[in-house]
Structure 1
């Protein structure tokens, strides 16, 4: 249930409070766009994690039945009150901030992947490796079950990353849909990045490129430079991904909460070991984008690794008192 202090009517909430929620969404979206950094961690830091999880798990599909009463003032009031009770306005404002940042950051990251793929994947390596080190420090592989979970996570990611690295990948709509459902993990579980899963699945560069093309195409359509038909392909992919994320919110979120409630240590051991096994992918990509190994070619990669790792360690330093 939503705490009374959190159940605000939209009209009674000051504008600056919604602006604060929007800005926190932007911070989460920036984190969600980068492999190795978790939007869930940002939600923890900004003090909205519990409210976010509560709002997500309180979403009730039965509320859709109230749409039939939109023709009357009493029906609209009942729908409004139900949406406020589920804290949907909070999710909408926060989600708008997240989308704003994802759209902006995806353009930056996609450009970096096109212009400097080796250094970009080196940066990802630093982010993911440091995140795994930080999270492993909070784990204890003291039981056979946890060890098995850790080995399984490492092996799965190592094998999958070997297949997806350097390959064009399969970008069918069902794969995109499933990727969206899995990527939403970043919003649910602090410490684990949804963008990381997209990298592991070989969908990250494709989806950031598709989103960039969609935004550019939408702007061109508004300016009258292109027809709306040109948006069909990227829009279909974006809508499919978002649909997967929505389904993931009401399925993956509950599944993760169940796993954490019943097998917390083993679940975290599996997820963190996924990150370690997936380091194979950026290593392959770095090697593929370095023609000859020399001090001049390796130095930028080393600096990128240190930059990525340093960013995570600085974040961990200022959030060391948070319990995930």
Structure 2
């Protein structure tokens, strides 16, 4: 895989991670690099630390597949810094069409993953249902409050990063559910180094633990794990459904109210509840555009990469 190909995948992952409800892990899956990503993260272990302490930088770099991680992180960073303002503006001014576009992305991604389960058995079907149930529960859950000092900060980082690499649910959405979204944004804005350090340590711990668990599951129970993750994606469609009615609000970093718990409704009910035009024709068109974009990405990169991977 070329460095440019990895960089482009990073661009797509970064664009997905910007928006609550959309996971960069989903993009990693449909572009065929998810297993490589988990393996590279999992390689940050005691052997890697030992190589660094010995000054063997070259072998340490090769041990973690450094070229892959560097190109991917460069793409993610470039995308986040270049698209953050655009996505934020669209979320603020045109949220319904934007969510419609992401609905199409997630739906197509779920169908791509569904094809990865070659043989359906009762346990795999149950895994699909369980994944859907978990995602639906998270999507409809009310806000909890983990704002109880540094232990809450650590746990928030741990859970958020787990969600970020898990297809279907984004880390920022988990922070909203935990009641920590505004707190984290405020800490980043004010450069609260103590808060950021504890949050970062929690995120690093979650990344190390969860990546190893997913890597193990994908190698020992590949079909069942794929069914579970596909269920996550189907269930998370409720998160990105464009027409919602807000049930619970939380305060953002600038004192503005942000939706924390929302109920999916029909376009007609959305218009009645909010007084805003449902923009049905535009939203359907954007759903189709998002769907076709994922299908193109899967055709262009995903199928070729998965075909080269060992069975």
Whether TM-score is above 0.5 comes out as: yes
Mapped to 1, the partners of 2:106 and 2:182 lie a distance apart of 18
Deviation at 1:129, TM superposition (A): 1.0
User: What residue in structure 2 maps to residue 286 of structure 1?
Assistant: 243
Distance 1:120 1:99 in 2: 21
Give runs of aligned pairs for residues 118-267 of structure 1, distance below 5 A.
118-140=96-118, 142-163=120-141, 173=153, 174-185=155-166, 192=167, 196-198=169-171, 201=174, 203=176, 214=188, 230-232=190-192, 236=195, 242-267=200-225
Paired residue secondary structure (1:59): coil
Q: Is contact 1:149-1:266 (8 Å) kept? A: yes
The residue number in structure 1 matching 2:285 is 303
Q: State which structure, 1 or 2, has the greater radius of gyration over its C-alpha atoms.
A: 1
CA distance in 1, matches of 2:182, 2:7: 22
CA contact (8 A) 1:126 1:308 kept: yes
Structure 2 gaps of 5+ residues are 247-269
Aligned residues: 271
Instruction: Please give the secondary structure, in 1, of the residue aligned with 2:303.
Output: coil
Match of 2:264 in 1: none
Shift of 1:18: 7.5
Equivalent residues of 1:160, 1:200 under 8 A apart: no
Q: Using the alignment, how far apart are the partners of 1:209 and 1:118 within structure 2?
A: 26
* Cα deviations by residue, 1:229-260 (Å, 9 ceiling, x for unpaired): x3328x835x5554444324422222112111
Deviation of 1:304 (Å): 2.5
Q: State the SS of the aligned residue for 1:101.
A: helix
Distance 1:313 1:212 in 2: 38
Q: Which deviates more, 25-34 or 113-122?
A: 25-34
State the shift of 1:287 in Å: 3.1
Quick one: which of 269, 273, 276 aligns to 2:227?
269
Shift of 1:130: 1.2
1:153/1:270 contact within 8 Å kept: yes
Superposition TM-score, scaled by structure 1 size:
0.66
Q: Deviations over 1:77-133 (max 9, x none)?
A: x24345334347533454244223223333332222211222222222111111111
Q: Does 1:40 align with 2:23?
A: no
**Structure 1 residue 315: deviation in Å?**
1.4
Task: Calculate the aligned-residue CA RMSD, in Å.
Answer: 4.0
Verify the 8 A CA contact 1:28 1:43 in the aligned structure 2: no
1:313 match: 295
CA distance in 2, matches of 1:80, 1:103: 29
Q: TM-score, normalised by structure 2?
A: 0.68
Partner Cα distance (1:51, 1:157) in 2 = 25
Distance (whole Å) between structure 1 residues aligned to residue 145 and residue 280 of structure 2: 27
* Alpha-carbon contact 2:135-2:232 (below 8 Å) kept: yes
